[in-house]
Amino acid sequence: MSPVVIVLVSDGKRCLLGRQSTFPRGMYSALAGFCDIGETMEEALRREIAEEVGLEVESIQYSGSQHWPFPQSSFMVACHATVNPDKTHVSVDKEELEDARWFSLEEVQEALTIKVPPRNNKGEPTVFWVPPSYAIANRLIQEWANQQHLKS
């Protein structure tokens, strides 16, 4: 089983989601990466965020874990991470991600309501959407949205 960190990054008001080219069109998710041998979860999380989007993590909060059978047997450790709100310029590693961008609470709330994304005449989703409720990425996104509500 391979350990993976999956993290929802926030600047306090927005969350950062990314997509790989293999994702279904329109779907964005929390960022994830494999832990290297001898690396702690925290070290892997900080390294992955720095490599994939060029951001420096300030704090980490553990959320939960999930076994994930795709594409191989992985053990996913889910966390929330915060970055300095004055240092939010995203520099996407195009070898790792197709895109990554900041989303507002309103955008995330709307995406969380989509169970089956609407499709165009080519059968492609036409809106931003997030992984389904059984995925731990969805749980991270939902937790972030709930936390934003408590702040307001």
Q: 134-152, pLDDT tens digit by residue?
A: 999 999 999 999 999 888 7
Q: Which spans in the chain are helix H?
A: 41-53, 105-112, 136-151
Q: Per residue in 5-39, pLDDT tens?
A: 999 999 999 999 999 999 988 999 999 999 999 99
Question: Residue 71: pLDDT band by 50, 70, 90 thresholds?
Answer: low
Nearest-angstrom CA–CA distance, 56 and 150: 25
**36 and 5 Cβ atoms separated by less than 8 Å:** no
Question: Does the pLDDT of residue 124 top 80, yes or no?
Answer: no
Cα four-point dihedral sign 127, 105, 19, 89: positive
**Closest C-alpha to 96, from 50, 152, 64:** 50
Q: Which domains does the chain have, with CATH numbers?
A: 3-150 (3.90.79.10)
pTM: 0.92
- Mean of pLDDT over the chain: 93
